[in-house]
């Protein structure tokens, strides 16, 4: 009986936690807003072509958010790990596939091959604890990019 009571108490506590959460706003504060997955022209794997493949990540909140240790990954688990970086309120950063000099608004994955498949794939954005923050899927060879 005691175990049963504890279980009930736990369930009740869980219910309270759910109730006490604020109403869900329009998605997460940090969002994947675009994936340009089929680099224009022939996919030659030149650095320019690799860098024409990119993902936009936007901070839709009213305060800066640190993305240190966050990861951006595809379905094959190719991963980009964010260094110490803060996305200012309302700003978008671009993560390009190839190599380059990363700054506050453009990050370079440093990959020698394409990350985002031309037919279908999913971008997963996870925080430093590995918790999924946002994801965006696409499944079309007719388009070159996806607005998420």
CB 11 within 8 A of CB 22: no
Which parts of 28-47 interact with Ca ion (CB under 5 A)?
Answer: 38-39, 43
Give min distance, CB of 85 to Ca ion, in A: 23
Under 8 Å CB-to-CB from 124, ≥6 apart: which residues? 71, 72, 73, 74, 132, 135
Which parts of 66-105 interact with Ca ion (CB under 5 A)?
Answer: 74, 76
Q: Is 53 in the site for Ca ion (CB under 5 A)?
A: no
Give the residue ranges of DSSP H helices in 1-148.
2-20, 47-51
Q: Is 121 in the site for Ca ion (CB under 5 A)?
A: yes
**HSE-CB of 60 using CA atoms within 13 angstroms:** 13
| 53-76 b/e (C-beta count within 10 Å ≥ 16 → b) | bbbbbbbbeeeebebeebbbbbee
Give min distance, CB of 59 to Ca ion, in A: 25
Query: What size, in residues, is the chain?
Result: 148
Q: Is 117 in the site for Ca ion (CB under 5 A)?
A: yes
Give min distance, CB of 38 to Ca ion, in A: 5
Q: Which one of the spans 13-21, 25-33, 97-105, 113-121 is the region binding Ca ion (CB under 5 A)?
A: 113-121
Give min distance, CB of 87 to Ca ion, in A: 24
Footprint of Ca ion on this chain (CB under 5 A)? 38-39, 43, 74, 76, 117, 121
């Amino acid at each position: 009986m005691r175990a049963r009571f504890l279980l009930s108490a736990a369930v009740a506590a869980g219910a309270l936690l759910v109730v006490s959460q604020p109403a869900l706003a329009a998605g997460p504060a940090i969002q994947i807003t675009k994936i340009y997955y089929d680099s224009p022209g022939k996919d030659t794997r030149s650095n320019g072509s690799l860098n024409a493949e990119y993902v936009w990540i936007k901070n839709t909140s009213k305060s800066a958010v640190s993305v240190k240790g966050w990861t951006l990954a595809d379905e094959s688990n190719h991963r980009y790990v964010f260094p110490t970086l803060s996305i200012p309120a309302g700003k978008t950063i671009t993560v390009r596939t190839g190599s380059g000099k990363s700054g506050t608004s453009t990050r370079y994955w440093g990959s020698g091959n394409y990350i985002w498949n031309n037919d279908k794939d999913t971008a997963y954005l996870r925080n430093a604890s590995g918790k999924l923050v946002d994801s965006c899927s696409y499944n079309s060879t007719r388009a070159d990019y996806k607005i998420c």
